[in-house]
Amino acid sequence: MFKKSISFFIMVAIVSGAMLTVTAQNEDNSYKMWEDIMITPDYAKLKVLGENMRKHNQKYHKEGPHKATVYNITTGPNAGKIIWEMGPMTYADLDKRPSVGGHDEDWRDNIDPYIKKMHTVEYWKDDNELNNTAMLDGDNSKYPIILVRYFEVVDGLAPGVRTFFERVSKTNKALEGENPWGVYYNEFRQGDLGRHIATFRFHPNWADFDRNVNWTETFEKVNGNNSMQNQRELYRTTFKNAWDEIWVYNKEMSGD
């Protein structure tokens, strides 16, 4: 079982002089956070769910920090489920989230009856220092396909977390062309789910997966000779599991 929250790992890294604290981010409100809800739809009623979800999002989650975006999970153990995502926002924005004026009743009457299960509600905070997402302008149709990679951190102290993602960040920023990528920390403990950290790589289309970005060569160039071998060893001592899934932007349900 994962015994330490990701906030604890961040604090451990601070002690070693390696990372900004979540507390510091909260103080200047420079961070961005997203609420992600994983849902299994009732596939026999998917058409009605889609129509109702679109109307709900257009009315209550059209813009600002409470803007909602919907993704279809197309690969991995959660394939077939959908992600309802709200943000970017801060904790203070949660105090002002839509709840009155018919919002909760609309979700209860027009969304809940058409879903089989709500699985997880998670809050993911970005790492503004490491992320390479400046080219993202809020238009999800430009990068509608996202490779999400989850990382499960080993039990106990894991001081290598920051170093591992710093190297990946430096490499992404040095690649030719636009390569939007970000790392996000799960704000709350997940028990046996193991969804502690996630990286998002944004793609304009499926063909982009075939693009040769000379990853290893660039990694060695910006991080030093033999750094890739060291990175592999760091991975083995820092994480005990990792897995991928693909999210595809669902424009119709999002209500954009």
Predicted pLDDT of residue 28:
55
pLDDT digits (tens, 9 = 90+) for 126-160: 999 999 999 999 999 999 999 999 999 999 888 99
- Residues facing 6 on adjacent strands: none
pTM, full prediction: 0.87
Give the domain ranges of the chain: 6-251
- Class for the domain spanning 6-251: alpha beta
- What is the rounded average pLDDT for all residues in the chain? 89
Distance CA 97, CA 85 (A): 13
Are 247 and 71 in contact by the 8 Å Cβ rule? The answer is yes
Please write the tens of the pLDDT for every residue from 41-98.
Answer: 999 999 999 999 999 999 999 999 999 999 999 999 999 999 999 999 999 999 999 9
Residue 7 confidence (pLDDT): 42
Least confident piece of the model among 29-33, 86-90, 223-227: 29-33
Phi-psi group of 194: left, alpha or beta (phi > 0 → left; psi -120 to 50 → alpha; rest → beta) = left
Asked whether 153 and 187 are in contact (CB, 8 A), the reply is no
Summarize pLDDT for 228-256 with one digit per residue, the tens. 999 999 999 999 999 999 999 999 999 77
- Residues 6+ positions from 60 with CB-CB distance below 8 Å: 66, 68, 98, 103, 106
Mean pLDDT (whole number) for 94-113: 94
Those residues with Cβ within 8 angstroms of residue 10's Cβ, 6 or more apart along the chain or in another chain: 19, 20, 21, 22, 185
Please state, for a pLDDT cut of 90, what percent of the chain lies above it.
Answer: 82
Percent of residues, the chain, with pLDDT higher than 70: 89
Reply yes or no: is the peptide bond before residue 88 cis, omega within 30 of 0.
yes
Pick from 37, 124, 49: which is nearest to 83 by CA? 37
- Please state the rounded mean pLDDT for residues 173-201: 94
Q: Which amino acid is at 79?
A: A
The confidence score (pLDDT) of residue 156 equals 84
Check if the beta carbon of residue 198 is closer than 8 Å to that of residue 151.
yes
